[in-house]
Amino acid sequence: MIVLEEGQPREGQHRQFNFAVIDGSAGYRSVLSTFLLAEWPNATVEEVDPFAETLQGRGHTFGTHSDVILLGGIGTYAEACASLKRLTARDRCPPVILMVARELEPQVPMLLAAGAASVLFKDGFSRRSLVETISRLLGVHALGKKGELPGVTSTAAYPDAQRFGQFSFIANGQFNTLAIEHFRFVATLASSSLAQVFSAERIDNRKRVVVKIGLSTPIHSMEARLFCERYRFIASLNGRNVVRYVDAGVADSWPYVVLEYLSGGDLRRRMAAGITPREAIQVLFDLAGALAVVHSGNFAHMDVKPENIFFRVDELVLIDFNISTRFGNVARNRVTGDVLGSPFYMSPEQGRGMAVDGRSDLYSAGVIFYEMLTGCQPYVGESATQVIYKHIHDEIPLLPRRVRTLQPVLDALMAKDRTERIASAAELAEMMLPFLPGGEKADEYADTTPVTIAPE
């Protein structure tokens, strides 16, 4: 596989392909379309609900002008053969990729003989295999982007069971084991009602990655659109101050993403080791740059905290977009109605359950800045409710005398009324310039005494 530098186009990426996605699940169609458009942004994708537009007869026009048809919603071998027969009987039928349940694996050779150009497991496939399968059928090379793992060869006509690793966890009181293509389980990193996060490695070359399964956006629910919306935006950034997507896919009922492994660790670990005021200033400046990238897509991260700020060697990287929200929306759990986020870093408007924008993330950045400079969080309490109350009502804390000239920065970030807060991440970056090396206030922070924060 050829690995291109970031920003170089891949062969075929700008060609005008046409795809037809046929499946009875709107969420499943949306995820497939998202993966296709992430690879071929100029493509057109025709989404077809077979329950609304029956496959009976030859007169229907859907998929007629497609380069590839992806046919899902197949329950039995007989249904698959009947659908293939009706599609392939049409004049100039394009290649048909059949998306079937894993239980039909023994019948795959017969499905290929019946006219399928290729077969994928609809309840266990990766975006990479989908792209490679289509590229093989269209005669286009699927080339890797910077940050992706090299060494993937062209896919066969149907999946190899040995390419799947097993990932187990408990969700909603039930034990689940999911098959993830190309990767094997190493360890569990985090577990919650929203997501399962695993350390993993690539099966063929043992490259380290992180696998994240989003449990809050099941594939067959309308919530799948949230996964698609976030995926399209974050994947389009190609790792600019955000975690890189190595792969993605569907496992059983849930979409998942495979993320780069960030060897530099997180900000919490650096704070525990000790961080100087000058280093804190640099982190805030870099965080402003990262937030500017995220906010450029009208997305608020909504969970900016030291545990979600990592380092790619020394480059600051934001991770965990599980609750990221479009500007003007509310960050709430759609089942329980609870406010989403981390109470210690939550803006007043987020705590109130109000619509948010980028200024909510800037408030969280101010909380982190205070913690880096003082070694403690600005507001603590015996419960999450108490902490949120203090964010809404308590005065902005005063910085220690040795870093008091940074108080205007803190005040501008942690203003209770967001209309009085710094308006944008770009404005924050500009405000920090005088404190950076070479700036007129840089000498005030030449002190190399670190502030140490106890790990949680």
Task: Let me know if 303 is a catalytic residue.
Answer: yes
Pick the catalytic residue from 67, 286, 303, 320. Answer: 303
Amino acid at 84: L
Tell me if 6 sits within 8 A of 33, measured CB to CB: no
- The residues that are catalytic are 303
